[in-house]
Amino acid sequence: MKKIGMGFICGAIFFTGISASASNLTAETKDYQLFIDDKEQVLRDKPISIQGRIDLPVREVAEAVGYEVAFENGTIQLRSNRNDEKKEGTTSSGRNVKLEKIPITQKLKDVEVTVHAIRLTASTTDFEVTVKNNTDDENITVDLLSTRVEANNNVAGKPSETVGIAPVNPDFGTVTIKPKKEIHGWVSTKGLVEKNIGNIAFRLTLRGNSEKRTFTFHIDCKDMKFRTL
């Protein structure tokens, strides 16, 4: 399996396109691995090869390096999260952030997410969350395939570890949160090898009627009492 490496992305992200009038072109998906700063990013949509050129999914790659993506009036907008740049601490992408103790609540465009607790098991890392849909007319679902957890970033003596969603998620797998409603449950990601955790970055993406909202929680796990089964 081939690997695609990206050392850094600065300022803007550029992706090439194909003219609508082009003919006799063959596109095929490729099982390429994408690495950003030597860390693998699992893509939901596979890269596409067109005449020897590799096209990547804009939204997934942009979000992996800290950009929000929106489609507005026929244009693709990429925006960095400047609030993160003003906080203290460090993330794997080099932006400054502040580690916080749970419970942590974040709000974005009339949707509110709270992380209440973290549970460690032999096979999963589970997050107890509440999602409140305060919109007037949007149905909200959890985009589980975009969920990512990074543990022990820049913790001395411990390698950082990144995992994606666990195979089983009964609380949020098929749930739609109606306007002015909320749901409480557990989001399960794959288990972490290291159980002595100094910090966790938990990314949760929600889908609305026309856009996605991505919440990233930078959690201080020092002296935390993790839940167990």
What residue segments make up the domains of the chain, in order of their start? 3-15+26-80, 97-220
| Mean pLDDT estimate for the chain | 80
How many angstroms separate the CA atoms of 108 and 196, rounded?
31
Per-residue CA distances from 192 to 35, 169, 187, 220 (Å): 20, 17, 14, 16
How many angstroms separate the CA atoms of 109 and 120, rounded?
31
- E strand map for the chain: 3-6, 27-29, 33-36, 39-41, 48-50, 53-55, 67-72, 75-80, 104-108, 111-120, 124-133, 141-142, 148-151, 161-163, 181-190, 199-207, 212-220
Confidence of residue 85 (pLDDT cuts 50, 70, 90): very low
pLDDT tens readout for residues 101-139 = 999 999 999 999 999 999 999 899 999 999 999 999 999
The CATH number fitting domain 97-220, selected from 3.40.50.720, 3.30.420.40, 2.60.40.1240, 3.40.50.10880: 2.60.40.1240
Amino acid at 154: N
pLDDT tens readout for residues 207-221 = 998 889 999 999 999
* DSSP assigned state of 113: E
Cis peptide before 170 (omega within 30 of 0): no
Confidence of residue 45 (pLDDT cuts 50, 70, 90): confident
Give φ, ψ of 82 to 5 degrees. Answer: -70, -20
pLDDT of 15 higher than 60: no
